Amino acid sequence: MIVWKEEQHRILAVCGDIDVGAVFRSTTGRYFRYRVWVGPTRNPADGGASSEEKAKQAVADRFAKFLAAAKLQPVPVPPDDMPLIEILAKATKEERQDWLLRCPLMLLARIGAQASEIFAQHGEHWAVSYIAAQVAKLHEKRPAWTPDLEQYMPQAKGGAA
């Protein structure tokens, strides 16, 4: 749902690719300002809290009200793949090859770019080609959007024609 990103002067609340709000660092340590750019109304909300956690909770609560008003569902936070990338970068040639041949396709699709970069740094260009081919194969299996698919989609009721 909300991912908190540390920045120099604030902690940014992000959902997907959208900045939804921020908690601004306290200069005194006693009062934290926050601002939420999305909510159940069109107006941004400003406020203050006595702690960073309370300010973050205020941002999260306002965002939850926005989701409810828009009739949207929160999406789960994607897993943090950086530890896996760091392990792959430190692995031996044999360990990298073993990892690549055992790697599930969906994981490879998610971290293929970073993995390809690591293999390329080690001069293992066969692995870069392998990753590209596997990810391409995965995308080939996805159904392309065609008007024929509309027959399987639920029809909207009472809409304008």
- Range list of β-strands (E), 37-156: 45-49
DSSP 161: -
* Higher-confidence position of 128 and 106: 128
pTM value is 0.45
- Could you tell me if residue 62 is inside a domain? yes
In this predicted structure, the answer to whether residue 158 has a pLDDT above a threshold of 60 is no
For residues 63 and 87, membership in a common domain is answered with no
Of residues 40 and 87, more confidently modeled:
87
Beta strands in the chain (DSSP E): 3-6, 10-15, 18-24, 32-36, 45-49
The top-scoring range by mean pLDDT among 21-30, 41-50, 120-129, 146-155 is: 120-129
Same domain, 13 and 39: yes
User: What is the pLDDT at residue 161?
Assistant: 44
Residue 108 lies in a domain: yes
Residue 160 clears pLDDT 60, i.e. is over it: no
Tell me, yes or no, whether 53 and 95 share the same domain. Answer: no
How many distinct structural domains can be found in the chain? 2
Question: Among the three residues 69, 91, 107, which one is the final residue of a domain in this structure?
Answer: 69
In terms of domains, do 20 and 65 share one? yes
Q: Which domain holds residue 9?
A: 3-69
User: 90 and 64, same structural domain?
Assistant: no
> Which of 79, 130, 86 lies closest to 105 in space, CA to CA?
130
Q: Is residue 48 part of a domain?
A: yes
* pLDDT tens per residue across span 41-76: 778 889 999 998 999 999 999 888 888 887 887 766
Judged by average pLDDT, the poorest of 16-20, 42-46, 126-130, 143-147 is 143-147
Query: Domain check: are 64 and 102 in the same one?
Result: no
Has residue 64 been placed in a domain?
A: yes
3-state secondary structure of 104: coil
The reported pLDDT for the residue numbered 58 is 92
Q: Are residues 86 and 125 located together in one domain of the fold?
A: yes
Question: Identity (one letter) of the amino acid at 78?
Answer: P
Statement to judge: residues 54 and 92 lie in one domain: no
Res 143: pLDDT: 56
Answer yes or no: do 103 and 52 share one domain: no
- Is the pLDDT reported for residue 147 higher than 70? no
